[in-house]
């Protein structure tokens, strides 16, 4: 005689985790398939270079004002905070300039600035491509035999990756300028002490470190934002949701990549 055993249902938390894992794998697979289409050889190089120049202006050059303004104020705030909370009678006066420079080089001008650009550039890319998807412009390109993914996304990736080193240099310069400005206006420290701290034990590799990191982050911003815009289904409301999801995903991936790249490059 067989005894029928009662099978207990799986816990809800386990089922939710399993569904989330499966959805994440499917999304990553669709992302890889799209990137395979994106990185095919352009059919018309002249058109590709023309669109790349347009994206350099649209994504890179148009981002210079916000990068300069934010970096200027952050440099000033860093100088005040370091002067107030770090410097003491037991430490030399140059510590303020030294700590301000290290924060700007190692994290702010690369990671934090790319997080800000993820909100500005990423949402712009998702909205633009998503609007083309819901108005069937992408379908029209596909019907004409055009590789729409390559035509729309590759120039954006190339444009931001090429201009991100310039934005990083501008951010570093503006942050240092903000430190000098607040030091001059408030007279919290002399320009000589600040300059000595900025020059003390300078490591040129830190600039390359920021540029290399930001290049990876630029690829994440453009590719992930383009993926969400290209995959939109529905109407204008779905485009707004896709823009929000793209910014969140870009931010999380940037922070995760920051940990990995820092562990690799700062050994």
Q: Is the per-residue pLDDT at 16 higher than 80? A: no
Dist CA 20 CA 152 (whole Å): 30
145 phi-psi bin (left φ>0, alpha ψ -120 to 50, beta other): left
Give 198-201 contacts, CB < 8 A, sequence gap 24+. 198/97, 198/98, 198/100, 198/101, 200/94, 200/97, 200/98, 201/98
Categorize the per-residue pLDDT at 90 as very low, low, confident or very high, splitting at 50, 70 and 90.
low
pLDDT tens profile 95-142: 888 888 888 988 898 899 999 999 999 999 999 999 999 988 998 988
pTM for the full model? 0.88
Place of tokens 């099978």: 7
pLDDT tens profile 132-149: 999 889 989 888 888 899
Question: What average pLDDT does range 168-187 have in this prediction?
Answer: 88
pLDDT tens profile 28-72: 899 999 999 999 888 888 889 999 999 999 999 999 999 999 999
Q: Is the dihedral of CA 230, 236, 238, 241 positive or negative?
A: positive
The larger pLDDT score, comparing residue 200 to residue 14, is at: 200
Q: What is the mean pLDDT of the chain?
A: 86
Q: Is the per-residue pLDDT at 188 higher than 80? A: no
pLDDT at site 161: 94
> In angstroms, what CA-CA distances link 64 with 59, 67, 193?
9, 5, 29
Residues whose CB is less than 8 angstroms from the CB of residue 147 and which lie 6 or more positions away in sequence, other chains included: 37, 40, 43
pLDDT at site 14: 59
pLDDT at site 6: 53
Least confident piece of the model among 4-13, 31-40, 101-110, 212-221: 4-13
Categorize the per-residue pLDDT at 154 as very low, low, confident or very high, splitting at 50, 70 and 90.
very high
pLDDT at site 99: 86
pLDDT at site 12: 63
Among 129, 158, 153, residue whose Cα is nearest residue 231: 129
pLDDT at site 145: 84
pLDDT tens profile 229-261: 999 988 888 888 999 999 999 999 999 999 999
Catalogue the E-assigned strands of 42-177: none
pLDDT at site 5: 54
Domain spans of the chain? 44-265
Categorize the per-residue pLDDT at 211 as very low, low, confident or very high, splitting at 50, 70 and 90.
very high
pLDDT at site 91: 67
Give 257-266 contacts, CB < 8 A, sequence gap 24+. 257/213, 257/216, 257/217, 257/220, 258/111, 258/213, 258/217, 261/212, 261/213, 261/216, 262/213, 265/209, 265/212, 265/213, 266/209
pLDDT at site 4: 54
pLDDT at site 10: 56
248 within 8 A of 140, measured Cβ to Cβ: no
């Amino acid at each position: 005689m067989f005894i029928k055993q009662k099978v207990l249902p799986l816990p809800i938390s386990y089922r939710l985790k399993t569904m989330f894992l499966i959805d994440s794998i499917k999304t990553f697979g669709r992302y890889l398939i799209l990137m395979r289409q994106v990185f095919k050889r352009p059919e018309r190089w002249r058109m590709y270079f023309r669109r790349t120049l347009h994206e350099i202006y649209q994504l890179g050059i148009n981002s210079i004002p916000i990068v300069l303004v934010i970096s200027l104020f952050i440099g000033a705030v860093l100088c005040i905070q370091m002067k107030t909370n770090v410097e003491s009678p037991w430490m030399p006066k140059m510590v303020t300039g030294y700590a301000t420079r290290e924060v700007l080089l190692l994290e702010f001008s690369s990671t934090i600035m790319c997080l800000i650009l993820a909100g500005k550039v990423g949402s712009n890319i998702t909205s633009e491509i998503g609007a083309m998807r819901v108005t069937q412009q992408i379908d029209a390109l596909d019907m004409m035999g055009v590789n729409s993914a390559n035509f729309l996304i590759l120039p954006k990736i190339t444009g931001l990756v090429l201009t991100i080193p310039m934005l990083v240099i501008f951010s570093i310069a503006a942050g240092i300028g903000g430190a000098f400005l607040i030091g001059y206006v408030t007279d919290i420290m002399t320009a000589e002490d600040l300059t000595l701290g900025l020059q003390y034990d300078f490591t040129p590799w830190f600039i390359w470190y920021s540029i290399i990191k930001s290049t990876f982050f630029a690829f994440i911003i453009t590719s992930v934002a383009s993926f969400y815009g290209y995959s939109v289904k529905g109407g204008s409301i779905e485009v707004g949701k896709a823009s929000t999801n793209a910014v969140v995903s870009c931010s999380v991936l940037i922070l995760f990549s920051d940990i990995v790249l820092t562990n690799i490059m700062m050994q």
